Amino acid sequence: MAGADKTKTRGPWPQLGRTEAICYSGYREGQSPATRMYPSEAQVLEDLRLLAPRFHHLRMYDCSPHVQMVLALIAKHHLPFKVMIGAYLAAESSNPRCPWGGVYDEEVLLRNRRENQVQLAKAIHLANRYPDIVSAVSAGNEATVEWTDHLVPTEHVIQYVRTLKAGVQQPVTFCENYVPWQGPLEALAAEVDFISLHTYPAWEQKGMDAALSYTQANYDSVAQRYPGKPVVITEAGWATQSNGRGIPKENANEAFQKQYVEELTAWSAKRGVLTFVFEAFDEPWKGSPEPDEPEKHWGLYTVDRKPKAVLAGKP
């Protein structure tokens, strides 16, 4: 590992109970990372205070001003959160297999490669600035799966993992759909401190009767392949609305979300699997302009911060 201190001891993951880990992105109506319209300090503090009684471990995806504000407010107000951050990687190669467009000019790809280096540096800076809050760092998200629109060659991700491990004390990972971990990412699995996988039965046309068993099978297919390597679920959830794109309308509702999340978190607690539920709040900026686009409706809360059925009546 060039330039790394191989004697460096990395902290272990904390032992978390049921439903204590969740993916958090605070973008509201009219806000998005693409337009760089970020939530205000008051909005972020409202979110954190809303989540604090139930969730104690957050996963965030980049090192944007939004993430920086979250970390600063947790520190300032002594809020009970640990945060997994990420260096979000933009496309470094074109991917014609992406259904919604993953082909770029070489100039764009070159610019992205430079920006990815900046993201790595920001991740290292934040991890070192907030060592008691940042629990882990990810070298990217869904950048190797066959349908991604931000494809990064695996050998580059390996180098980025090594860069992070040389620069931070926290455990380093890479977050990806479970399928690439079943074989194509074997070399990367050897480099990360723990494996992070995503599993979405609803996207794969599974009904509620098969949802949890499918999730378990996805997890076991990876965990059994890498005995001795910790495996974390960094995304698993259920959409509550759909326009039929990718998820049948009848398979997306609050009752199914409630059942799946409750079954998932009970199984996670029993198995001792750290599982980040996807996600805290609905995000209207995602996906197509259609209001029932499923990408917009994975939150356990609506975009106006009202609890859905899974949390209704709970502290």
d(C-alpha 3, C-alpha 122), whole Å? 18
Asked if 1 and 33 count as a contact pair (C-beta separation under 8 A), the reply is: no
pLDDT(9) > 60: no
Give residue-wise pLDDT tens across range 224-259. Answer: 999 989 999 999 999 999 999 999 999 999 999 999
Q: Which of 243, 256, 250, 259 has its CA nearest to residue 296?
A: 243
Give residue-wise pLDDT tens across range 45-84. Answer: 999 999 999 999 999 999 999 999 999 999 999 999 999 9
Asked if 291 and 308 count as a contact pair (C-beta separation under 8 A), the reply is: no
Give residue-wise pLDDT tens across range 206-221. Answer: 999 999 999 999 999 9
Instruction: Examine residue 279 and say whether the peptide bond preceding it is cis (omega within 30 degrees of 0).
Output: yes
**pLDDT of the residue at 2:** 35
pLDDT(313) > 90: no
**pLDDT of the residue at 13:** 59
Q: Which residue has the higher pLDDT, 91 or 315?
A: 91
pLDDT, mean of residues 96-112: 96
The model's pTM: 0.94
Phi, psi values for residue 274, rounded to 5°: -65, 120
Give residue-wise pLDDT tens across range 153-203. Answer: 999 999 999 999 999 999 999 999 999 999 999 999 999 999 999 999 999
Q: Name the band, by pLDDT with cuts 50, 70 and 90, for residue 11.
A: low
Q: Name the band, by pLDDT with cuts 50, 70 and 90, for residue 16.
A: very low
Phi, psi values for residue 129, rounded to 5°: -75, -35
**pLDDT of the residue at 1:** 32
